[in-house]
Amino acid sequence: MNLEADENRFSQIAELLVSSRHAVVFTGAGVSTESGIPDFRSPGGIWDRFDQSAFDYSSFLTSSQSRLAHWELFRTLSHRVEPNPAHFGVAELCRLGLVKAVITQNIDNLHQRAGVPDELIMELHGSMKNFTCLRCHAKYPLDKIEVIMQSAEVPECPHCRGILKPDVVFFGESLPGDTLERAVFNSRASDLFIVIGSTLAVYPAAYMPEYALASGASLVIINLTPTPMDSQASAVIHARAGEVIPEIVREVKRRSG
């Protein structure tokens, strides 16, 4: 990142934040890659290592081979990682009262661990922090599942031997209705919509910035690579989120005195 070249944009984004009434942050995989979680679509990402066609909900229910592939992926995503400066920066903007909602495509729970209150977060694709048995509906935290994974390639429910599924949205499943409704409401209510670490390629999640723009919000995009909505944004920074967000937070605090 060229810090000098981006200083004007840091200042511009900080001014938009300080003057906003309802700023919303929207995050994708690019926020968490710096914590060591691979994204899905970049070279070397998840879909370079796994066959995407096997990862739909109907296959998970009916095919033991599909479940085996899913659990190999779960092991990749569940390894212990920590929030990075981007997560902590977003949490600080929430603490300052400048960000009113965080909409995320991520399932890693890192925003909450960084300090974003649960009530401000909308996890569009669910979360890996809990698993549910599809037969008896018992729920298990990730810690419990990690213990079971040590002795079983495809863990089953300890109570009834039913299929265990993380509380995430698989291909072929609908997004959770109440979460989607809250995300749409906040997107349309926003006057500033900040995209961080998303290519805006996955729908219906990628409709959120479109709803914000249609309602008159300013759009900011912070992503390592260009997105289809860059031309509609008031400010665009192509850099790592963990480098950019702390700089914006510093500029916000400088302006706030």
Looking at the structure, tell me whether residues 33 and 66 fall in a common domain.
no
> In the listed set 148, 168, 188, which residue is the last one of a domain according to the structure?
168
Residue 78 above 90 pLDDT? no
> With contact defined as beta carbons under 8 Å apart, do 30 and 202 qualify?
no
Q: How far apart are CA 229 and CA 99, in angstroms?
A: 21
Q: Which of 10-14, 42-46, 158-162 has the lowest mean pLDDT?
A: 42-46
Q: How far apart are the first and last CA of the chain?
A: 26
* Per-residue pLDDT reduced to its tens digit, 28-73: 999 999 988 776 555 555 555 656 666 689 989 998 988 998 888 7
More confident call, 257 vs 1:
257
Looking at the structure, tell me whether residues 184 and 76 fall in a common domain.
no
| Domain CATH number, residue 137 | 3.30.1600.10
Closest CA to 40 of 159, 178, 197: 197
Pick the catalytic residue from 125, 137, 159, 238: 125
Residue 25, helix vs strand vs coil: strand
Looking at the structure, tell me whether residues 236 and 137 fall in a common domain.
no
| Domain CATH number, residue 3 | 3.40.50.1220
Looking at the structure, tell me whether residues 68 and 138 fall in a common domain.
yes
pLDDT at 3: 52
Answer yes or no: pTM beyond 0.85: yes
Q: How many domains does the chain have?
A: 2
Looking at the structure, tell me whether residues 101 and 204 fall in a common domain.
yes
Q: How far apart are CA 148 and CA 151, in angstroms?
A: 6
Residue 143 above 80 pLDDT? yes
Looking at the structure, tell me whether residues 142 and 54 fall in a common domain.
yes
Looking at the structure, tell me whether residues 234 and 131 fall in a common domain.
no
Range of the domain at 219: 1-37+83-125+175-257
Q: Which of 3-7, 56-60, 170-174 has the lowest mean pLDDT?
A: 3-7
Looking at the structure, tell me whether residues 115 and 240 fall in a common domain.
yes
AA letter at 13: I
The answer to whether residue 22 is catalytic is no
Q: Which of 43-57, 105-119, 214-228, 234-248 has the lowest mean pLDDT?
A: 43-57
Looking at the structure, tell me whether residues 112 and 231 fall in a common domain.
yes
Q: Are strands 126-133 and 164-168 parallel, antiparallel or unpaired?
A: antiparallel
pLDDT at 73: 79
Looking at the structure, tell me whether residues 30 and 109 fall in a common domain.
yes
Give the DSSP H or E segment for 211.
helix 207-214
> In the listed set 136, 168, 200, which residue is the last one of a domain according to the structure?
168
> In the listed set 168, 198, 233, which residue is the last one of a domain according to the structure?
168
